[in-house]
Chain A
Amino acid sequence: MRKYLVAIGAIAIAAGAVSAANAADKVKACFVYTGPHNDGGWSQQHDEARLAVEKHFGDKVETAYVENVPEGPDAERAIERLARSGCNIIFTTSFGFMDPTLKVAAKFPKVKFEHDAGYKMAENVSIYNMRWYEGRYVQGQIAAKMSKTGVAGYIVSFPIPEVVMGIDAFMLGAQSVNPDFKVKIVWANTWFDPGKEADAAKALIDQGADIIVQHTDSPAAMQIAEERGLHAFGQSADMSKFGPKAHLASLIDNWTPYYIERVQAVLDGTWKSTDTWEGMKADFVLLQPLQNMPDDVKAMAEDTIKKIESGELQVFKGPITKQDGTIGIPAGTVADDKTLLGLNWYVKGIDDKLPQ
């Protein structure tokens, strides 16, 4: 037993010495997940990027993670534990970890923190997120082309700005192809419940939707679309194997480039607190693989992706009319990030009433 005490002490001391130096030859990168590391969606994508970091840096980087961390005091404790265990950089991967991350960061000024999906920063806290809405816009275009009924079914988790942004972007994309396109919405009130997501998909299909979009994490809806011979989009991870015939494209979170860049910065001693919000251009957001669609639809999707990457196409560029007919974004202007981060209205043409 004594042996372990000594060993653990030695690791802690070594790690402490490293984090004090400016440039480092060895870095411990740590991750806090809100779900299980293999949830097949959100947390798994973060974990795959963690493994990619390990592979990329080899011996220079050690990683650790804590999974299934509930938001609140448990998150604070989990983050603090990692900070104490000698982590040099800690990625906290849920927006609910925002305040706990800041609290712990204040206590550990030498450790670098990276918080995903929040808006509060500090000297040693960076924030980063993805512009998924760019991919949603393309999904909307594909849906409008592929749908026979002109109705898509959208399964959503919770009414937070990111989700609302996705619905709006999807509708804007669809309307650019078919101005009369309709979207039906079901709030599942959960990020992850395969049974409920499947039931929601069935309900939407029974009400006339022939394309399913989801902002929840399980591949259940994809399986239902496959069973009914319809089409669906995957979420977070590549879900094509759950619907070989149904799968159109998955909106994939690719955290690898960012994680490698940030760990490299710690190794180089050049890490600074930054605000990163990137989309398709930086390969953060991928819409892959494009399949089960005619060539012209695929060409259109690829063309739109190129235009988004080059900045030629801005999803939230005015004029955009709100659901109630008032002006959301005036003609000629592009919504700034602050507007988008607090988005709480639907664009015109969506029938659902946004929970307020």
Chain B
Amino acid sequence: MTMLEGILLTIVTAATPLLFAALGELVAERAGVLNLGVEGMMAVGAVCGFAACNMTGMPLMGALAGIAAGMLAAGLFGVVALFFVANQNATGVALTLFGLGLSALIGDAFVGIPGVAVPRVNIPYLSDLPVVGRLVFGEDPFVYVAIALAIGVWWFLFKTRAGLILRSVGDNHNSAHALGFSVFRTRFLAVLFGGACAGLGGAYLSLVYTPQWTQAMTAGRGWIALALVVFASWLPGRLVIGALLFGAVSILQLHAQAIGVGIPSQFLSMLPYIVTIVALVLISRNRALLSVNTPACLGRPFVPDV
């Protein structure tokens, strides 16, 4: 494997958990719900995914358990923030806190156990092609799921009637309600989908990225996923680019260190965050573009006047 190949493969792996979590949040936000609890949902997804995989020996069970756990956590958010119309920012922060704490308690029995390795896809001949072989035909199965999910989300949001309803709920919940659509149900389902994706992203961390469980292993990736959604101006295609870009910056700073550039490592570690801020500013200053895609009712509570 050449160095370039290695770097590109690493970037794809670094981007995958972010992409999962961000895709889910994108759908929730398109429906008008801002769920800041992504980090907490990822954490419970990671621990339940690892536990299930450890007990059954099957990574697939781990992935499913991660999804289920993420959905449960999201359901909690849905009840408080949607049914009880509580402040979504506060509820999200509570979910992050609760999820991180709970995952550590659940995971107590699974610390220090190596996970089951998930084999990479290996297609004869194709996977052995130079440069593109491993990159296109030799990733782990989750990577292909993430890409399929990105395409699926795009198709759902912009090509189906249900997607249109979901977006209309996010853009103007009053008129969506007046047209007879259930704002609550649409949003609740969108939040559950967000939880499923975040849980899967968490499970990817504990199953593939570093097959082990340790508390706080999500290490802030949930927050990065939230930033990526805005960076992508709520478009799935841009989300893929954003996740890869963030992955690239965080991997390349490590390479810069290994080469020995002589810049204090703290400044290099800051780079991914500074790049995110700069990217956010560049995207956000174009208000016209942003206003087309921003869900107008994002974060606003809705209670129908019966």
Contact = CB atoms under 8 A, between A and B. Distances in A.
Interface in A137-159: 153
A207 B255 contact: yes
A206 B2 CA distance: 7
B7 interface: yes
B254 interface: yes
Given A40-B112, A218-B212, A223-B210, A195 B6 contact: no
B contact face: mostly helix, strand, loop, or mixed: helix
Interface stretch (A95-103, A256-264, A347-355): A347-355
Contacts of A353: 260, 262
B9 to A, nearest CB: 8
Interface in B225-271: 250-251, 254-255, 257-260, 262, 264-266, 269
A242 B213 CA distance: 12
B55 interface: no
Contact of A194 (B217, B251, B254): B217
B98 interface: no
Contacts of B143: none
B254 A223 contact: no
A203 B254 contact: yes
A185 interface: yes
Identify which of B209, B214, B221 gathers the most chain A CB atoms within 10 Å of its CB. B214
A39 interface: yes
B288 interface: no
A193 B219 contact: yes
Given A200-B254, A206-B7, A187 B265 contact: yes
B3 A206 contact: yes
A186 B210 contact: no
Contact of B258 (A204, A227, A355): A204
B210 A198 contact: yes
25 contacts: A40-B111, A184-B260, A186-B254, A186-B257, A186-B265, A189-B265, A193-B217, A194-B217, A195-B210, A197-B210, A198-B209, A203-B251, A203-B254, A204-B258, A205-B6, A206-B1, A206-B6, A206-B7, A207-B259, A218-B212, A218-B214, A223-B210, A223-B212, A242-B114, A351-B260
Interface of B: 1, 3, 6-7, 10, 14, 104, 108, 111-112, 114, 117, 205, 209-212, 214-215, 217, 219, 221, 250-251, 254-255, 257-260, 262, 264-266, 269
Given A187-B265, A206-B6, 19 more contacts: A36-B104, A36-B215, A38-B108, A38-B111, A186-B258, A194-B209, A194-B212, A194-B214, A194-B217, A195-B14, A198-B210, A202-B10, A203-B255, A203-B258, A205-B6, A223-B210, A223-B211, A355-B265, A355-B266
Interface of A: 36, 38-40, 44, 153, 184-187, 189, 192-200, 202-208, 218-220, 223, 227, 237, 241-242, 351-353, 355
